[in-house]
Amino acid sequence: MLETNRLIRKLAIENKKLRPLSDDDIRAVQGILLEMMSDFDRLCRKHNLRYFLCGGTALGAVRHKGFIPWDEDVDIAMPRKDYNRLADVLLEEYGERYWLQSIDRIPIYDLPFMKMRKIGTRFLEIFEPDPDHAGIFIDIYPLENIPDSAVLRFFHGTISDFLQLCCSCVRMNLKKDRYFTYFNDSKALKIVKIKALLGKILSIIPLHNWCIAADRWASKCKNEQTMFVSFAGGAF
């Protein structure tokens, strides 16, 4: 999955059909993201929800004392218990400002994490699963406890990776025409064709069902005191 994502980013940069964001575009997006983060932080403090910055957002906060100059989103992680509470309190408090995408609320949404998107903005990614609600966004990842036992941890991780791979293959099969439109690189096309073929076979089960199964398995460990945690979606 990581190799596929690397190739997608490379080809997106090189593809003449796509317009890269200018420095002014990125600064405008970052300004809106700061407003969104202010609302998000206020909400979490009010409802005692735990969260922390992760990925490029955490790196930017430490290294640049703000955003990485070319970063156009925010990455947040939340313990599963708080993650599960977020949707209800966010939509209750800020339903007029934000749209929340998650697999349990939006049947066509197909990513293993939530996106908090600002109503009234437009930010359309290449393979957007829900283009009607594609505003500027914050990515919110569930942080999962996983077993302390090495054997159980290996079993949990292997099944989780398998389910995420199934989701990725079925997703790629459904969007293969768009991938073929953008890709003219033989290595990328080979990966897409193989995964799309596997996805076609796996499509006997709908993508949404695969996503729900992967999410439920990832949150299988209910012990919040384990020594180990994980991002089941493979984001970091």
Residue 9 dihedral angles phi and psi, to the nearest 5°: -65, -45
8 A C-beta contact, residue 137 and residue 130: no
Instruction: Report pLDDT digits (tens) over 135-173.
Output: 899 999 999 999 999 999 999 999 999 999 999 999 989
Mean pLDDT of the chain: 85
Instruction: Report pLDDT digits (tens) over 78-120.
Output: 999 999 999 899 989 998 899 898 988 888 888 889 999 999 9
**DSSP H/E element including 102:** none
Residue 43's pLDDT is what? 95
Instruction: Report pLDDT digits (tens) over 36-60.
Output: 999 999 999 999 999 999 988 888 8
pTM of the model: 0.84
Residue 14's pLDDT is what? 57
The SS3 call for residue 138 is strand
Residue 236's pLDDT is what? 34
Q: Identify the weakest region by mean pLDDT among 28-37, 57-66, 143-152, 198-207.
A: 57-66
